[in-house]
């Protein structure tokens, strides 16, 4: 289910969820460029590329501090059949943010040799340095605004070449929300018949006093649409 602070498209008839939350408050550094498909994104992280044989799209990938190779872009493959959307029904947004997938589609959409990460694999990634500051370190250096529409800089430092982008969500009632402010990603971990675990990175403006970067682990409604990052099979 989409965040309760989202647009009027938020579904209210869904069963109640429980949320496990960890957060860090930070003032991200400002930058003007994102990681590129070079052999080295930073001194710490080697960036590589691979091509999805199904449609010929090429993606960046990088070895993260958890020791796994993660996609460094959101998946943009359009499955047939399957439930997926470009934000605002605008195909150009898919090129920037990737597509948004229902959970059942996300479970089968990974390219050959890759998989949708489990909840534990997400937690390994964000705690690999022993700190929830990963929420800032994983965010891209551009493209993030602070929530509530004031359009101030809420960017991250992209220390490891992960380049997390705020692709927003698609709500199962048909509405889109929070592009530029929230990034939502599915995990492969199912909670029950209605919910699976997802990860959120978001900016929050607390009454204009501070830019908080918050990372959340939540149950999400399976029929909603969220981004997909894949992990290379070991």
DSSP string, the chain: ---TTS-TT---SSPP--EEEEE----PPP-S----SSSBSSSS-BEEEEE-TTT--EEEEEE-TTS-EEESS------SSS-EE-GGG-HHHHHHH--EE-HHHHTT-SPTTEEPPPHHHHHHHHHTTSSTTHHHHSB-SSS-B-TTTT--B-----TTS--B---BEE-TTS-EE-TTTEEEEEEEEE-SSSEEEEEEEEEEESTTS-EEEEEEEEEEETTSBBB---EE--
Q: Which of 13-17, 27-31, 59-63, 209-213 has the highest mean pLDDT?
A: 59-63
The mean pLDDT value for 182-186 works out to 95
Q: Which tokens hold the place of 152?
A: 């101030």
Question: Residue 139: is its pLDDT beyond 80?
Answer: yes
The mean pLDDT value for 160-189 works out to 93
The mean pLDDT value for 11-30 works out to 35
Mean of the per-residue pLDDT values of the chain: 79
pLDDT value at position 206?
Answer: 56
Question: Residue 143: is its pLDDT beyond 80?
Answer: yes
User: pLDDT tens digit string along 80-98?
Assistant: 999 999 999 999 999 999 9
pLDDT value at position 45?
Answer: 64
pLDDT value at position 11?
Answer: 27
User: Residue 191: CA atoms inside 13 Å, Cβ hemisphere, count?
Assistant: 21
Contacts of 123 (CB under 8 A, 6+ apart): 217
Cβ neighbours of 37 (radius 10 Å): 14
User: pLDDT tens digit string along 28-49?
Assistant: 333 332 333 333 334 456 789 9
The mean pLDDT value for 221-230 works out to 97
Backbone angles phi, psi at 95, to 5 degrees: -65, -30
Tell me the pLDDT band of 188, cut-offs 50, 70 and 90.
Answer: very high
Q: Between these two residues, 34 and 170, which has the higher pLDDT value? A: 170
Question: Residue 203: is its pLDDT beyond 90?
Answer: no
**Its pTM surpasses 0.75:** yes
């Amino acid at each position: 289910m989409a965040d309760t602070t989202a647009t009027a498209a938020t579904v209210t008839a869904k069963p109640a969820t429980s949320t496990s939350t960890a957060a860090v408050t930070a003032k991200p550094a400002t930058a003007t460029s994102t990681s590129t498909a070079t052999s080295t994104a930073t001194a710490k992280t080697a960036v590589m590329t691979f091509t999805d044989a199904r449609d010929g799209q090429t993606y960046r990938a990088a070895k993260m501090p958890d020791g796994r190779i993660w996609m460094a872009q959101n998946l943009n493959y359009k499955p047939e059949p399957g439930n997926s959307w470009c934000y605002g029904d605008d195909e150009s947004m898919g090129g920037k943010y990737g597509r948004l997938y229902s959970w059942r589609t996300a479970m089968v959409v990974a390219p050959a040799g890759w998989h949708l990460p489990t909840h534990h694999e997400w937690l390994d990634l964000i705690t690999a340095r022993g700190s929830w500051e990963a929420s800032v370190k994983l965010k891209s250096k551009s493209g993030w605004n602070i929530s509530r529409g004031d359009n101030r800089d809420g960017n991250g430092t992209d220390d490891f070449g992960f380049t997390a982008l705020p692709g927003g969500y698609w709500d199962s009632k048909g509405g889109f929300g929070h592009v530029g402010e929230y990034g939502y990603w599915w995990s492969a971990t199912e909670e029950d018949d209605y919910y699976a675990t997802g990860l959120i990175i978001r900016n929050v403006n607390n009454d204009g006093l501070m830019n908080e970067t918050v990372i959340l682990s939540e149950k999400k409604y399976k029929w909603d649409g969220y981004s997909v990052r894949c992990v290379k099979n070991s």
